[in-house]
Structure 1
Amino acid sequence: MSAVNARDRHRALDLVLELVVLLNADMGRRLAADQLTPARAAVLWALRRRGPVTQRELAEALEVSARNITGLVDGLAGADLVSREPHPTDRRATLVTLTRRGTRLVETLEAEQREFAALLFADMPATRFHGLLDGLADVVGRLKAEGLKTHE
């Protein structure tokens, strides 16, 4: 297998950066339509994946301060997207839970993601798609190995 030359690596990075800018702009427009910020959306996604959790658990999962998560949850609660409920076993703690409205919004965002993925990849030949998938997995793995993190 031959090595990739520096010019092609630079072109690949340019394309990845352009993709990031395009996706970020698209995401910002979509979230703004529901008066969401990326940080508030991250809270909603975390609750969708994890279910009801304490604010401390949310702060740890999103790698933000307790003060920051309080402000985010306050804003989402004010928009009726999350609620705070008593913890069933720890009377000092409260659980943050998606409301019915919050669940519907996240479900809509998930459906839109599926539609967007179909738009992006539907006509791509399988071998090219799997090559892209493998390449992206390699890049993400390398970044994680270097200590960069994502909010999983």
Structure 2
Amino acid sequence: MAVKMTGDELVEVLRDTVVALVRRDGPDLSARQLGVFLTAYLAEGPHTVRGLAASLNVSKPAITRALDRLGELDLTRRKTDPQDRRSVLVQRTAKGTSLLRDMSTIMGEAVAMPQGTATVEAANSENKARHAV
């Protein structure tokens, strides 16, 4: 059964999620990078720079910059389209899939804890434990 949340509650979940992501070890993503990442992972592909730009209604250079950063972090990779060598496809990676799974967990905890503070602390504890191994 779907949980009906108010706009304020949804914003709280977003805040908790972003704060937990920012507090994780390592670099965090800008809003644009996160938008490109989530679109590449959640929307049906295949994805191209042109397609992502159209989907997000931003310029192709903005998508290229976001993909450059996502590639540096091994969250996406680019591959020449074998059907059309002029086109470049955006591919998912194992590290990106792991980040998406972590984000889903963080958001689930934020939904379960409307006050939010416990969610951020739980994410920090989980992240520290994962990096201690």
Per the normalisation by structure 2, the TM-score is 0.67
Number of aligned residues: 106
Contact 2:13 2:110 (8 Å CA) reproduced: no
Report matched runs for 1:2-151 at 5 Å: 20=11, 22-23=12-13, 25-32=15-22, 33=24, 34-50=27-43, 51-120=45-114
- Unaligned 5+ segments in structure 2 are 1-5, 115-133
Per-residue deviation, residues 49-71 of structure 1 (Å, max 9, x unmatched):
22441011111111111110010
> Which structure ranks higher in relative contact order (CA pairs < 8 Å, sequence separation ≥ 6)?
2
Larger Rg: 1
- Which secondary structure does the structure 1 equivalent of 2:113 belong to? helix
CA-atom RMSD in angstroms: 2.5
Identity %: 33
- Unaligned 5+ segments in structure 1 are 1-14, 121-152
Alpha-carbon separation, structure 1, partners of 2:103 and 2:81: 28
Per-residue deviation, residues 86-117 of structure 1 (Å, max 9, x unmatched):
11311100101121101111111112212222
Per the normalisation by structure 1, the TM-score is 0.60
